Amino acid sequence: MAIADGKADGKGWGIFRLRFFGGGGGGGGGAGSSSSNSSSTLSLSHHRHSRSSGRSQMGQVYGGAAAAPAARRSPGASSISSVARSLLPTRRRLRLDPTSKLYFPYEPGKQVRSAVRIKNTSKSHVAFKFQTTAPKSCFMRPPGGILSPGESIIATVFKFVEQPENNERPLDQKSNVKFKIVSLKVNGPVEYVPELFDEQKDQVSVEQILRVIFLDPDRPCSQMDKLKRQLAEAEAAVEARKKPPEDTGPRIVGEGLVIDEWKERRERYLARQQVEGVDSV
């Protein structure tokens, strides 16, 4: 048969030879093919290993190059974050009423008064202080103090009103005087001294800048009514502070002699016993 002889159809044999070229076709040819295939396989695996190692080295290089700028950016990032924090609005510790204006009755040539309520809305003790652009013609009572959490006070502001110039109408006068209230967080109920703000300048916060607004005292308005109520309340608080505190403890008589209610009762009892003893005799 043609296929059995191997000579009838050369194309079929050629296909078999191509398909089994690496595995058959004689001892010497098979060994040569195996060695060539093995060497090609080793070279291919070595090439792949070289490519993978090259990629890993490039990744390390690029990774190190990317890490270096990141390390160099860390100080800059911290400085940017500090700048961003400085741009954020300061959290206020005090609440003012009025919030941004000081109302004064316009009385030229006289010293007039205004008032502002200051309340500590934080959870710690807060020191506050007044500042003004006209310290010679303005002053505050009190000029500063320390408020406990939730405590409030009405401060009185005094100002001398200048006479109008150039025949100006009274309420056309514009005052450039401004007041500023600053605050400082303190540890506990400490004694107030103005030097507290100089010792901790970086912790001082500006609460509000107050502008001066003149009101016509002969013309009733809500601002004038509110100002009168606040001034009356401030005067009552000042008078209350002037009164000596009521002493509810034991009374001190002389040097070191303490007389309380129990001792008075005991002395009366002893005196009564002595009288009864004399009567019985």
Residue 62: is its pLDDT beyond 50? Answer: no
- Shortest CA distance to 261 belongs to which of 253, 271, 251? 251
Count other C-beta atoms under 10 Å from residue 204's C-beta.
Answer: 16
pLDDT band at 48 (very low <50, low <70, confident <90, very high): low
pLDDT band at 22 (very low <50, low <70, confident <90, very high): very low
Q: What is the mean pLDDT of residues 171-176?
A: 65
Distances (CA, A) of 57 to 66, 102, 263: 14, 72, 97
- Length, in residues, of the chain: 281
The number of beta carbons lying within 10 Å of the beta carbon of residue 94 is: 20
Between 56 and 201, where is the model more confident?
201
In single-letter form, the type of residue at position 26 comes to G
Percent of the chain with pLDDT over 70: 56
pLDDT tens track for 111-132 = 999 999 999 999 999 999 999 9
Tell me the H-state helices in the chain. 2-5, 10-19, 27-87, 195-199, 222-242, 261-280
Q: How far apart are CA 168 and CA 186, in angstroms?
A: 47
The pTM (predicted TM-score) of the whole model is 0.56
Query: C-alpha distances in angstroms, 128 versus 144, 222, 250, 281?
Result: 5, 28, 37, 74
Average pLDDT of the segment spanning 23-43: 46
Scored b (16 or more CB within 10 A) or e, 245-269 reads eeeeeeeeeeeeeeeeeeeeeeeee
